[in-house]
Structure 1
Amino acid sequence: MTNVDERAHEAERAEQYRALVEYGLTAGIGVGHSLGITLEAIGAGRAVWTMQPSTRAADAHYSVAGGVLATLMEAAMASAVHAALPPRTTYTAAGLSIALVGKLRVDDPEVCCEAHVVHCGSRTATADARVMTADGRLVAHGGASFLVFPVPQG
């Protein structure tokens, strides 16, 4: 593929992913709906998601649970990988590692998670992500690996 073809393909895959997320929000299904996670930007091996902390995400200390932040990060990294994959391929998460480095209260302002593809090969892909507060404080960072495989024909 040429660079022009690759960019067009990335844009098409990004739009497909955005449509899936929007459908889930409209239908009231998925983590976007249940946790208030919103896709802000996707394309060229990068994705940005936001989340408004709320009591839906609370742990026993009225902080946002680490698993909720992991979900936000995995969604961001998976969508970045989705947009970067070549035609007729798909993926599944193989591993996730995060470091929680700051407390996020349920009444804090919206946070942003930005993910970037580090590697996108024919069998595996990796990505990293950071969750930041509006004032630039790092809350969590981590990475994920994905198995890449052809879409079954039929």
Structure 2
Amino acid sequence: MTSEISPSEAATLQLGALPLTEITKLSGLEIFQHMKEGKLPAPPIMVTMQIFLETAEAGRAVFRGNPGKAHMNPQGTVHGGWISTILDTSMSCAVHTELKPGEIYTTTSLTVNMVRPLMPGSGEVRCEGLVAHRGSRLATAEGRLVDAKGKLIAHGTVTCMIFPLQTA
């Protein structure tokens, strides 16, 4: 199964930022459920980066990606920024699943360790983020990016600051 989305499919998606006034009453996990059902917009970056949500459950988020030529660096491998993006996405979204209504978050630090090159066109990759700690203001998560054969491409950690949503 491939996660790649065509330009015509992308045009049919509801894309954009989450409407803050609508999400104040939803938990982080409910927000993901509403996005998957098309009731809330999905982030536009998913189309650009070819990164798509597979699973979101309490403390866990899994994304699939399909890096292509548009994501290459000068050496012809997938740019480290793409690898960092899918790791940040999966780990931060794992934190997002644990938010209470009225809370939002932002990444404050990201550490990525790349252990082998990823080639464009090598097929779909899978990235899983798991919350390691959720406090009242800070949360940390760990993530692993693997190729279609299950070989580790990169792993990392993220720290997120949690704060109340200000809608006014």
> What's the offset of the Cα at 1:23?
2.9
What TM-score results when the alignment is normalised by the length of structure 2?
0.77
Following superposition of structure 1 onto structure 2, how do residues 1-154 of structure 1 map, counting pairs within 5 Å? 9=27, 11-16=29-34, 18=36, 23-24=41-42, 30-152=44-166, 154=168
> What's the offset of the Cα at 1:17?
5.0
The Cα RMSD (Å) is 2.2
Give the conservation status (yes or no) of the 8 Å contact 2:62–2:129: yes
Structure 2, gaps ≥5 residues long: 1-25
Q: What is the rounded CA distance, in whole Å, between the counterparts of 1:16 and 1:126 in structure 2?
A: 24
Identity of aligned residues (%): 32
Deviations 1:36-69 (A, max 9, x none): 1111111111000011120011011211111110
Q: 1:19 to 1:58 in 2, by over 3 A?
A: farther
> What's the offset of the Cα at 1:10?
5.7
Greater fraction of residues in helix: 1
Aligned residues: 143
Structure 1, gaps ≥5 residues long: 1-7
What TM-score results when the alignment is normalised by the length of structure 1?
0.84
Q: 1:19 to 1:120 in 2, by over 3 A?
A: farther
Q: What is the rounded CA distance, in whole Å, between the counterparts of 1:88 and 1:131 in structure 2?
A: 30
> What's the offset of the Cα at 1:87?
2.4
Q: What is the rounded CA distance, in whole Å, between the counterparts of 1:17 and 1:108 in structure 2?
A: 28
> What's the offset of the Cα at 1:31?
1.9
Q: What is the rounded CA distance, in whole Å, between the counterparts of 1:18 and 1:150 in structure 2?
A: 24
Secondary structure of the corresponding residue to residue 155 of structure 2: strand
> What's the offset of the Cα at 1:19?
6.0
> What's the offset of the Cα at 1:136?
1.1
Deviates more, 1:69-78 or 1:11-20: 11-20
